[in-house]
Amino acid sequence: MKTILLPFHDDDAAEAALATAHLVATRFGSYLEGLLVRRTPVIVAGEGIALPAESLTQLASDEDRIAEAGRRFTKFTDTQGIPYREVTFTREKVTAGWREVEGQEGEIVGEYGRLFDLVVIARIGPRGGADWQATCEAALFESGRPVLIAPAAAPRGLGETVVIAWNGSTETARAVALGMPFLTQAVSVTVLSVENGSVPGPSGEQMANHLVRNGINATARTISPGDLSVGEAMLAEAKDVGADLLIKGAYTQHRLRQMIFGGATRHILAHAELPVLMAH
């Protein structure tokens, strides 16, 4: 986890994600890059035609938000004593970078994110807009990298007590593999399975045994969801054990089906109060 990409905005959710990303960077001595994507301006006026006053006001407002996002990022790095360096700087310490580009955020994050070891995304709550969802899914499906969904409030710690939301799937196996830097440093790891919430594949106990072989303090646990959904049961159990990181594969079901009927991934994306590491 030596390089971390953080799409950044002028809001409190992005600032909480920055604090979350900093926890990861501190653990691994990472380069942390803030990325601000400017929307491509739409100019409707022709030659010799003045822009309407409302369009000029919107452009000015956008520029103000862009400037404020940069100030927020810089204020955090200054407060934490994080120097700005090129990504090629290799000493074992946290460094930062800032990049502004123009285009569609989801498209840029999906492509540019392929360079990084981890993409951190701010979570915008249960009613997060389409732009947030597009960026999150682009990071998951297009970058080929693990994605850390930051909680709305910055956590105090990250990666000491880890829960793996195990369902036997290829996606979850990939999330575990990409999450090994966290797992090998964790104090305890619980491989959590929910009854009737798995696909054909290895059991949670088998996964825990293989993690033990890697020197990880892992145990397996299977729970009954009762009246809860699978996603609700996973989050409730993670809270009960005091987890500060949840690892989960993304979208074992077809995405369209989850959009219509819900699913564990959608519930966790909307309601998790702890950092969630996902991969697809």
**Is 145 in the same domain as 165?**
no
Of 29-33, 131-135, 209-213, 218-222, the range with the lowest mean pLDDT is: 131-135
62-98 pLDDT, tens digit each: 677 888 999 999 999 999 999 999 999 988 899 999 9
**Which residue, of 150, 174, 190, is where some domain finishes?**
150
Q: What is the mean pLDDT of the chain?
A: 87
Helix axes 105-112, 130-142, angle to 10 degrees: 20
Asked, for residue 156, whether it belongs to a domain, the answer is no
Domain shared by 122 and 216, yes or no: no
Residue 206 in 3-state DSSP? helix
User: 228 lies in which domain range?
Assistant: 161-279
* Cα(138)–Cα(52) distance, integer angstroms: 34
Last residue of a domain, one of 123, 150, 177: 150
The C-alpha angle with vertex 175 and arms to 219 and 155, in degrees rounded to 5, equals 75
Of 95, 126, 150, which residue constitutes the final position of a domain?
150
User: Residues 83, 166: one domain?
Assistant: no
